[in-house]
């Protein structure tokens, strides 16, 4: 899988255009001609920056995925196995922020696994597996220590991720007249309260600091 090329004005414009079109139209539904047109460059210029469309797609996805890093306090909390009432809100705040502020990243990941699944596993192992595995290990440790209900930690990790990311869209289908949450911190707190009530009833909620 190619490394993101060095930044330049033209490259940045191409990446920006590719992001919008791949996220909106999918991989197969987007042509390099469309990307070049939206970026305001010639198609020959695009191919001087990227050898082919697939390289451009993976470079675009890697560019947006480079920010999928744990903040220091969450990484330390997971490693040191801090109490669930402290760590779970931080995990869910991270997921809520991703859903609110990086929707195109989520769409690109979906496109990768649906349309380029033969290489998506490589991307997943590089960018997603370390984060998800660390969360799963944290949950498993707390389950073993009796701090959380005895559940399968991998299923629980999946549920935490999917409910947080998919709840806004599903909620709009249930009640399309009213906004679900006013902002990402509010969403993170709501999900943290929900999961703590299910996994460890009675634990107080320690709000996560919003990282913006």
170-183 per-position pLDDT tens digit: 888 887 766 677 67
Per the CB < 8 A criterion, the answer to whether 107 and 19 are in contact is no
CATH 2.40.128.130 for the 68-199 domain, yes or no: no
Lowest model confidence (mean pLDDT) among 5-9, 17-21, 22-26, 87-91? 5-9
pLDDT at 21 over 50: yes
E-only strand ranges, 76-210: none
Per the CB < 8 A criterion, the answer to whether 56 and 13 are in contact is no
Can you read off the two tokens belonging to residue 174?
């249930």
Distance CA 173, CA 192 (A): 22
Which listed CATH number (1.10.150.20, 1.10.10.60, 1.10.287.130, 3.90.79.10) goes with 9-64? 1.10.10.60
Distance CA 150, CA 169 (A): 29
Mean pLDDT, the chain, rounded, equals: 88
pTM of the model: 0.82
Tell me the domain boundaries of the chain: 9-64, 68-199
């Amino acid at each position: 899988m190619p490394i993101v090329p060095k930044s330049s004005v033209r490259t940045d414009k191409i990446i920006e255009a590719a992001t919008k079109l791949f996220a909106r139209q999918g991989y197969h539904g987007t042509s390099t001609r469309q990307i070049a047109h939206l970026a305001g460059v010639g198609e020959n210029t695009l191919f001087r920056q990227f050898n082919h469309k697939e390289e451009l797609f993976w470079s675009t996805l890697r560019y947006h995925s480079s920010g999928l890093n744990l903040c220091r306090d969450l990484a330390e909390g997971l490693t040191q196995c801090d109490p669930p009432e402290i760590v779970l809100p931080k995990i869910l705040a991270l997921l809520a922020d991703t859903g609110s502020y990086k929707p195109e990243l989520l769409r690109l990941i979906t496109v990768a696994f649906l349309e380029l699944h033969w290489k998506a596993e490589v991307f997943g192992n590089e960018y997603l597996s370390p984060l998800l595995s660390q969360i799963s290990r944290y949950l498993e440790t707390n389950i073993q220590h009796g701090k959380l209900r005895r559940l399968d930690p991998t299923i629980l990790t999946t549920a935490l991720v999917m409910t947080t990311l998919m709840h806004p869209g599903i909620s709009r289908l249930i009640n399309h007249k009213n906004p679900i949450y006013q902002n990402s911190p509010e969403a993170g707190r709501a999900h943290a309260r929900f999961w703590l009530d299910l996994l460890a009833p009675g634990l107080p909620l320690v709000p996560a600091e919003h990282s913006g």
